[in-house]
């Protein structure tokens, strides 16, 4: 590990240099880490055909877990992953027979068990945030999913199992993203994309690429967000995705274009592109629904459609439309989607603040603070703190702004 990352580990964990060295001595890598000085080539836990579960083992190893959490986001990896996904041939047979596998026989009921566990994890994530459920996900991958993948199965079962594993790995990455561990999230999402490639599953690839695009958006990597969102849309087209899935992918493209738009240098053509994509997504969503929706799209309803659009309107400066869509989303979310509700409370607060309506902004922001306190989500807390910064910038000396800042400190601390 290069000195710059040793220093970052020390800063992240408030540890002395000698303590970091002790960690590294206790946790020498199980695989070679590239020695090149370019950060973008750092890929210590890549998913290989015979080492798919290495990342999952690292998650369960207390001497390595903190290293994963401290990994930096490396944008250069995205190019390699995109090229491999787009141009590499799909691996050969997914079957594992007695001659090349020593585990137990795996059947369709085992694959269904993985899907059922994934559905339960996803619902808990929506309701409570990633911090509560992510340890259960990583334990499931290591103790249940890895033995299944080392078992014996037919071609069809093997591809279905790899596809299910890709979805679980994607969810582990999404949860790390929710907790602010972006390098760790990137590794799981990259592994998920490779598993989906091995399964020949373009539909799941589209979902994973859309998650990578959203992470790039949140980190303000606009160009990469556009590339990833475009690749997700391409994967959706190749898989003949349902209208609901296509609408989600179009919204990811709209978000990426909105993030790539510089608010300080208005670009009318870029803003028009965002508007066009939002209109396409709304039209696609209302098209005749098919019965081939994948299970993972179930949470994407009218409320989420409005929420995604509202965020894009806010990014391109259409504050009234942003407020309207965020408030429409708030009226539509079911009670089990607490994190989505909190995000949209903040989005509505920001839009109302930019419209000059301080009272309405604070009316949305106050319950968002309480929700952030209850959710185990770094993103939820970051969003409400960003609103506080926005509020201070616009109304530094206003009594209500100072009161909100005190309220935020009292509830969430410094």
Domain boundaries in the chain?
A: 327-414
Retrieve residue 149's tokens. 């993948």
pLDDT > 70 in the chain, percent? 87
Average the pLDDT over 348-365 and give the result: 97
pLDDT at 379 over 70: yes
Using one digit for the tens of pLDDT, what is the confidence trace for 190-228? Answer: 999 999 999 999 999 999 999 999 999 999 999 999 999
Using one digit for the tens of pLDDT, what is the confidence trace for 160-181? Answer: 999 999 999 999 999 999 999 9
Q: How far apart are the first and last CA of the chain?
A: 32
pLDDT at 36 over 50: no
Question: Average model confidence (pLDDT) for the chain?
Answer: 88
pLDDT of residue 37: 35
pLDDT at 40 over 60: no
Main-chain dihedrals φ then ψ at residue 2, nearest 5 degrees: -70, 155
The SS3 call for residue 96 is strand
Q: How confident is the model at residue 93 (pLDDT cuts 50, 70, 90)?
A: confident
The SS3 call for residue 42 is coil
Retrieve residue 71's tokens. 């990994």
pTM comes to 0.87
pLDDT of residue 101: 58
Main-chain dihedrals φ then ψ at residue 96, nearest 5 degrees: -130, 120
Using one digit for the tens of pLDDT, what is the confidence trace for 78-90? Answer: 999 999 999 988 8
Residue tagged 């009234």 (tokens): 320
| H or E, element range at 106 | none
Main-chain dihedrals φ then ψ at residue 38, nearest 5 degrees: -80, 125
Using one digit for the tens of pLDDT, what is the confidence trace for 257-304? Answer: 999 987 677 678 889 999 999 999 999 998 766 678 999 999 999 999
pLDDT at 129 over 70: yes
pLDDT of residue 39: 34
pLDDT of residue 64: 80
Average the pLDDT over 43-59 and give the result: 63
pLDDT at 28 over 50: no
Extract the runs of DSSP E, i.e. beta strands, from 32-115.
none
pLDDT of residue 212: 97
pLDDT at 322 over 60: yes
pLDDT at 29 over 70: no
pLDDT of residue 38: 34
Q: How confident is the model at residue 32 (pLDDT cuts 50, 70, 90)?
A: very low
Report the C-alpha gap between 397 and 323 in whole angstroms: 25
- Among 37-41, 120-124, 153-157, 390-394, which stretch is predicted with the lowest mean pLDDT? 37-41
Report the C-alpha gap between 124 and 391 in whole angstroms: 32
pLDDT at 187 over 80: yes
Report the C-alpha gap between 146 and 164 in whole angstroms: 12
Retrieve residue 51's tokens. 């080492």
């Amino acid at each position: 590990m290069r000195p710059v990352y040793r220093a970052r580990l020390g800063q992240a964990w408030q540890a002395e240099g000698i303590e970091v060295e002790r960690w590294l001595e206790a946790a020498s890598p199980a695989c070679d880490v590239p020695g090149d000085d370019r950060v973008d080539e750092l890929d210590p836990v890549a998913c290989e055909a015979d080492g798919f579960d290495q990342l999952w083992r690292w998650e369960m190893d207390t001497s390595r877990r903190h290293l994963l959490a401290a990994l930096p986001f490396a944008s250069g990896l995205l190019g390699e992953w995109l090229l491999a996904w787009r141009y590499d041939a799909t691996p050969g047979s997914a079957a594992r027979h007695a001659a090349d596998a020593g585990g137990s026989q795996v059947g369709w009921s085992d694959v269904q068990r993985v899907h059922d566990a994934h559905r339960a994890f996803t619902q808990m994530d929506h309701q409570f945030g990633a911090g509560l459920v992510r340890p259960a996900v990583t334990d499931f991958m290591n103790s249940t999913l890895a033995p299944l993948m080392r078992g014996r199965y037919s071609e069809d079962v093997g591809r279905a199992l790899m596809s299910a594993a890709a979805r679980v790995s994607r969810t582990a990455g999404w949860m790390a993203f929710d907790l602010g561990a972006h390098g760790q999230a990137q590794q799981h999402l990259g592994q998920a994309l490779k598993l989906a490639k091995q399964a020949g599953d373009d539909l799941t690839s589209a979902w994973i690429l859309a998650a990578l695009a959203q992470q790039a958006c949140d980190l303000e990597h606009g160009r990469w967000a556009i590339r990833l969102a475009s690749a997700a849309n391409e994967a959706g087209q190749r898989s003949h995705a349902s209208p609901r899935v296509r609408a989600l992918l179009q919204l990811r493209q709209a978000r990426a274009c909105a993030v790539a738009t510089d608010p300080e240098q208005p670009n009318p053509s870029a803003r028009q592109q965002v508007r066009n994509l939002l209109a396409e997504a709304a039209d696609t969503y209302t098209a005749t629904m098919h019965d081939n929706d994948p299970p993972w799209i179930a949470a994407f309803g009218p409320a989420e459609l409005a929420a995604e659009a509202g965020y894009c309107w806010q990014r391109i400066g259409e504050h009234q439309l942003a407020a309207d869509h965020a408030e429409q989303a708030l009226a539509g979310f079911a009670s089990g989607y607490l994190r989505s509700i909190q995000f949209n409370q903040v989005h509505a607060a920001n839009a109302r603040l930019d419209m000059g309506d301080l009272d309405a902004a604070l009316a949305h922001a106050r319950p968002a603070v309480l929700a952030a306190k209850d959710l185990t989500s770094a993103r939820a807390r970051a969003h409400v703190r960003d609103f506080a910064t926005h509020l201070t910038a616009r109304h530094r000396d206003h009594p209500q702004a100072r009161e909100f800042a005190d309220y935020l400190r009292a509830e969430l601390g410094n």
